[in-house]
Amino acid sequence: MQTQIQFPHSPRVIESGLPHGLWNRLIHVVDAHCRFLLTTHIKPDGDGIGSQLAIAYFLEKIGKQVWIVNDSPLHSAYHFLDPLRLIKSFDELKPALERYSPEVIFIVDIASTSRLGGMEGYVLGSDALTICLDHHHPSGDEVSDLSLIDTEASATGELVYQLVRRWPMELTQELALPLYVSLLTDTGCFSHTNSSPRVHRIAAELLETGISHSEIYRNLFQRSSLARYRMAAHLMLSLEMSEEGKLAWLQVSREEMARFGVTADEMACFSETPRELESVEVVLFFQEIEGGEVKLSLRSKGRANVLEIAKKLHGGGHQHAAGAKLRGSLGDALRRAVPVAAAMLSVQMDLPVTLPAIFRRSS
């Protein structure tokens, strides 16, 4: 017997901006199928992981089979979210996936398959119905059968909340914990400009289940290693600035990470710290990675649109948090990206371009 579904006009739901018809289609798909697979982008963050786990708990509660498979294993920083180790890596489950044969694949926190890593080929080759839940601006190469993309949402977790609250079930701590992590991490602990009244209302409802904000915060942000702390001090001493102090950038090489004993995963959030400086509006963080590439993270304090900078560099993201990958050395990446950022910032904020001479010669 099928579930008696509560459709979108329930007063329990803090409404999204998406049409009711899309939610009705999603509810119908969930209700009509039994075997589900969840995946997200490479190097998943708190939003991707939290959204996956909340969907998984939700699907299990309504009697569905569900697997979570990502390109790589779960980072240790998020182990507290997944005590049952539901999240598996593609290499770990590759043989079993062929036998599982999901009917529906959820792609969360990313609309394109190009950043699914090892899961991309599997998703594209599957006969399963694909559903995208995301809050990033579409890149134009989306392939899902059903896409719910709300660029006004602070996190993909907002969309997952919308799905869960459309079902006649209690909002438990098990569901609330990963959803809260999703919101907390993608809003910068509710400090970013995407921290809307709606997301605060959702967060309040999640906290009312009894989950502990302080415990979650400690697990996420107060478990840094001494090596990472020393790496941070080294990076801040190398901070460079231009455009009347409104543009700041940092760089780190693989050799430096090895010397300080930190991993690539521990480098997250270093792009956030320079925003504490009063004058800074935009931060660029250049991180040398494998394969002759540099990972660029862009952050805005709120007045500048770093998505426009990222697009010029074939990247993507949000207006105030974006990223790109650049081929070549750290020096190549700086000489390519810093002039682009300076030019965009000068247009957006009506500033003269005041780059150091090395960048003026290369631009």
- Write a three-state SS string for 122-179: HHHHCCCEEEEEECCCCCCCECCCEEEECCCCCCHHHHHHHHHCCCCCCCCHHHHHHH
Query: Could you say which of 221, 237, 259 is where a domain stops?
Result: 221
Claim to verify: residue 55 and residue 89 sit in the same structural domain: yes
Please report the pLDDT score of residue 6 as a whole number: 43
Q: Integer distance in angstroms from the first to the last C-alpha of the chain? A: 66
Blockwise average pLDDT, block size 10, the chain, 363 residues = 42 71 94 97 93 98 96 90 94 87 94 86 93 85 85 94 93 97 94 90 97 95 90 92 91 95 83 90 94 94 90 88 93 95 84 61 44
Claim to verify: residue 271 and residue 339 sit in the same structural domain: yes
Query: Could you say which of 177, 201, 221 is where a domain stops?
Result: 221
Please report the pLDDT score of residue 238 as a whole number: 87
Claim to verify: residue 147 and residue 242 sit in the same structural domain: no
Q: Strand order of the sheet with strand 282-289? A: 240-242, 247-252, 282-289, 293-300, 321-327, 316-317
Classify residue 12: in a domain, yes or no.
Answer: no
Claim to verify: residue 251 and residue 167 sit in the same structural domain: no
Domain of 32, in residue numbers? 20-221
Closest CA to 97 of 35, 33, 31: 35
Check which CATH number belongs to the domain holding 74 and give it.
3.90.1640.10
Claim to verify: residue 241 and residue 353 sit in the same structural domain: yes
Claim to verify: residue 298 and residue 255 sit in the same structural domain: yes
Claim to verify: residue 58 and residue 119 sit in the same structural domain: yes
Please report the pLDDT score of residue 296 as a whole number: 95
Please report the pLDDT score of residue 349 as a whole number: 73
Model-level pTM?
0.84
Classify residue 282: in a domain, yes or no.
Answer: yes
Which residues have C-beta within 8 Å of that of residue 294, sequence separation ≥ 6? 286, 287, 288, 325, 326, 327, 328, 329, 330, 332, 333
Classify residue 184: in a domain, yes or no.
Answer: yes
Claim to verify: residue 216 and residue 262 sit in the same structural domain: no
Rg (CA), the chain: 21
Please report the pLDDT score of residue 193 as a whole number: 83
Claim to verify: residue 168 and residue 153 sit in the same structural domain: yes
Please report the pLDDT score of residue 7 as a whole number: 43
Count the neighbouring beta carbons within 10 Å of the beta carbon of residue 299: 27
Claim to verify: residue 148 and residue 236 sit in the same structural domain: no
Claim to verify: residue 201 and residue 238 sit in the same structural domain: no
Classify residue 11: in a domain, yes or no.
Answer: no
- Report the domain count for the chain: 2
Question: How many Å apart are CA 280 and CA 283, to the nearest integer?
Answer: 7
Query: Could you say which of 221, 248, 265 is where a domain stops?
Result: 221
Q: What is the H or E stretch that residue 285 is in?
A: strand 282-289
Claim to verify: residue 263 and residue 324 sit in the same structural domain: yes
In single-letter form, the type of residue at position 144 comes to: S
CA 162 remoteness from chain centre = 18
Classify residue 2: in a domain, yes or no.
Answer: no
Classify residue 13: in a domain, yes or no.
Answer: no
